[in-house]
Amino acid sequence: MPAALTLTEVVVAFGALRAVDGVSLSIPAGERRAIIGPNGAGKTTLFQAITGMVQATSGRVVFEDADITALPPHQRARRGISRTFQITNLFPTLTVRQNLFLALRGLAPGKFNLFGMPKPSADEAARTEAALLAARLVGREDTEVRALSYGEQRQVELAVSIVNQPRMLLLDEPAAGLSPNERAMVAEVIRALPRDITVVLIEHDMDLVLGLVDQVTCLHEGRVLVEAPPSEIRGNPAVQEVYLGRARHAAG
């Protein structure tokens, strides 16, 4: 498989702090990859260096053979890099379908006019239906987002992030704060995503993540500590040390 994403010695420094400290990794097209690691390991900052929300201080970010290191976020998005939008980016008084339509058109809420909204094209309608189906939201499409449960709002986030048919999807703790049932639903949605989307997932819930992904990268203090298949993660001494060692220190 050709690489979807290749990072070479990526550094992101905030003043003296190197939140990402020389990360190199390669993710094959279509892979499901987990990024794990304790709080502060640099996981979210690494995502931001991929989406362009922060600029890498040094190193290279290559997406589908193009060097995107210097591109602004919207140009990376146009190439097919999508991230989950937080619930706070959804429009609570609009329906699920209207939120998807806005995302398709790249519209801000101020631009939205319920009565003046142009009819979706056949292509837009098809994309919307595909996203509703993938995010298990069929039957909820005409409900206002504010009337949905927290878990369902997470599903809408997922739908919004895939409605433009991205090439790569970055999910930063998509199951955080959810009940076990809601977590299972989110896992099911991720598992059923088409394999032409490369999925990179930050998640703390080991049970969820290890059942979902092909390969795991464990970050610690901004560096790659371990890269291994999920079957080797729990038993890995270095992973145990950063998770359990930390618990020991916290307890002591």
Chain contacts with ligand ADP (rule: CB under 6 A)? 14, 17, 19, 37, 39-45
Conformation bin of residue 37: beta by default, left when phi > 0, alpha when psi is -120 to 50: left
Burial environment of residue 86 by CB neighbours within 10 A (0 to 12, 13 to 18, 19 or more): exposed
Q: How far is the CB of 39 from Mg ion (least distance, A)?
A: 7
Q: CB-wise, 45 or 155, nearer to ligand ADP? A: 45
**Partner interacting with residue 14 (select from Mg ion, ligand ADP, none; CB below 5-8 Å by kind):** ligand ADP
Q: CB-wise, 37 or 174, nearer to ligand ADP? A: 37
Task: Enter the DSSP assignment of 147.
Answer: G
Q: CB-wise, 45 or 99, nearer to ligand ADP? A: 45
Q: How far is the CB of 49 from Mg ion (least distance, A)?
A: 13
CA-atom Rg of the chain in angstroms:
19
Alpha-carbon distance of 107 to 99, in angstroms, equals: 10
44 touches Mg ion by CB under 5 A: yes
Q: How far is the CB of 54 from ligand ADP (least distance, A)?
A: 7
Element (H, E) at 223: strand 223-228
Q: CB-wise, 44 or 69, nearer to ligand ADP? A: 44
Q: Is 58 helix (H, G, I), strand (E, B) or coil?
A: strand
**C-alpha closest to that of 206 among 193, 218, 194:** 218
**Residue range at the interface with Mg ion (CB under 5 A); choices 41-49, 61-69, 73-81, 227-235:** 41-49
Contact residues for Mg ion, defined by CB under 5 A = 43-44
